[in-house]
Chains A and B, each alone.
Chain A
Amino acid sequence: MNSRLKANIINTTSIILIYIILVLLIRIGFINNYYEGILIEMGINIILAVSLNLATGYLGQLTLGHAGFMAIGAYTAAILSARMNLPDLPLLLVSIVLGGLLAAFFAFLMAIPVFRLRGDYLAILTLGFGEIIRVIILNMKITGGGKGLSGILPLTSFSTVYFITVITVTIFYTLINSRHGRAIISIREDEIAAEAVGISTKYYKTFAFTLAAFFAGVAGGLFAHHTLVLDPKDFNFIRSIEILIIVVLGGMGNLTGSVLAAIIITILPRLLMGFADWNMIIYSVLLIAMMLFKPGGLLEKREFSLNGLLSGKKKSHGNTPVKNEGSE
């Protein structure tokens, strides 16, 4: 228990320290608006990747419709926040939570047909659901249809995204290391054996899928109040695939890997801006190369641990200890 406590203290301190440093840098103007925007996007991508990792990496079900849940959360939150009268922070929190809940509700409904299927059939079905959500949003009045939804309040700030991201990662970390998390992982490893030892696979599949959708919806809500304009095109299946790229790049079933990969994938296109119209070509070549040389993901199965790094028990597998969630 003692080492656990120590790990918790180290992690909490470093999370707060990183926050203070980043806020100071923003205050003195070292991090300007543009970079702050990138930090916010990083946080959103981390939430999306970590939540998809639960469904795809830990539960082992390839889903290609994550952007659909993000869209539900984004539009719901944006529409609600424009119609409610609350101070800024509670307004943001209430609307993104409601957005997340609606996304989770739809995921719950979809879970019934989705989990009758296996493997790639399941993947393509979730892709279908994602596209249907997008087409429906495109054809609704309240969402602004193809013209997009504008006039969204700028409620997302660096601090809110930072803490919501930390909370999300902590929740997922705790979940995965709990009894329920082990049940979810056992379904990935061997569904029949899991069922045989008395794990209700139906319950845990639905639970993981719904929870992943909830956080995708929350990320969508943050995204809406950050970009301030929503276009159904932002949520096409390419977006789902981008999130999947982060998960696979970080390593399936590796939370810290997802966090690290989300940071890299958010920065990479910006770093490549200097190459002008070569940037996307370089990006895709890098993507192929990374997969060819590291097919198991950047961190593979090893979780990055700041605590382990400090006590010198483990080698580090990343250079930037930006966020981490404790020892194993």
Chain B
Amino acid sequence: MDVLAKFLQQLINGIHVGSIYALIALGYTMVYGIIKLINFAHGDIIMMGAYFTFVCIVTFNLPIGVALITPVILCLLSGILIERVAYKPLRNSPRLSALITAIGVSFLLENVFFKKFGQNPIPFPQIINPSPISLGPLQISRITFITVLISVLLMILLDLFIKKTKPGKAMRAVSEDPGAAQLMGINVNSTISLTFATGSALGAVGGILYSIAYPLIDPFMGVMPGLKAFVAAVLGGIGIIPGAMLGGFIMGIAESLTKGYISSQLADAVVFGILIVVLSLKPSGLLGKNVKEKV
């Protein structure tokens, strides 16, 4: 029973981290789906979300509701701004130039926050009471409950948004064929902006949830979760929204199980190992369709 309890505990931890990865991965996958760009600056949106929340709560002492909504809006606007300034002029350039620009934006954001807040990690305020809820032999922290709840809720909302609403349909149309979408009267530019806005807002929520789970924030905190979320997006099939969710959960669970049973240092290697195995078997990710090339 003990063995099972430990396993379940690790599994729950995995779902906790996995739901955060999934939220972040959605931002990567949506942006990739629409403009085929690996948005390296997305990891730093996570960091910005965390810092903005910190400033709202600690510096300005805003009520908790406002302090959680403001950072999301700020990140959403930054996402749009970044796309307009740094990526839009390069839409018809070689794809690698846009990639390097994304890396440049990432360096810029990291170093601006580095200059403003310094290198040392800052403790993140406690927003959720961490006292655990007991379920039989299992101890589940309230943080886990709320994180998973919020993530799943957001994912359902996103799914409805993409499938049922007009702007959501426009997003899918542009990602399928921007030229044809434009001919059908869709405003491609504003749809791309909308994609960045949605992705960045989800990233900000992911960042806040991440810093609640690991309450130390520093200017480079977005790099590792960003990278793992990106791997999650690739694992599920990049550009495919349910794939990002699935990939996120797989990554989180694999990481947590490795930390619990093998070694915490090897967790990163295992995560990438899974990626390599999956891509060797399914070259376009778990849910990706293998497109046959026509000559």
Contact = CB atoms under 8 A, between A and B. Distances in A.
A201 B105 CA distance: 36
A277 B115 CA distance: 7
Nearest to B279: A125
Given A139-B265, A288-B86, A292-B90, A128 B104 contact: no
A292 B275 contact: no
Given A128-B231, A128-B276, A295-B94, A285 B108 contact: yes
Contacts of A120: 32, 36, 38, 234, 238
Contacts of A295: 90, 93-94, 97
A138 interface: yes
A117 B283 contact: yes
B179 to A, nearest CB: 20
Interface stretch (A42-50, A129-137, A178-186, A307-315): A129-137
B100 A125 contact: no
Contacts of A287: 100-101, 103-104, 107
Interface string B209-247: 000000000000001000100110010001000000000
B265 A138 contact: yes
Interface stretch (A159-167, A242-250, A316-324): A242-250
A131 B274 CA distance: 13
Interface string B87-122: 001100110111111011101100110110000000
Given A124-B230, A284-B111, A285-B108, A291 B101 contact: yes
A135 B269 contact: yes
Given A121-B285, A291-B100, A281 B295 contact: no
Interface of A: 56, 62, 113, 116-118, 120-121, 123-125, 127-129, 131-132, 135-136, 138-139, 192, 237-238, 241, 244-245, 248-249, 252, 277-278, 280-281, 283-285, 287-288, 291-292, 295-296
7 closest residue pairs by CB, A with B: A295-B93, A128-B272, A284-B107, A284-B108, A287-B104, A135-B269, A295-B97
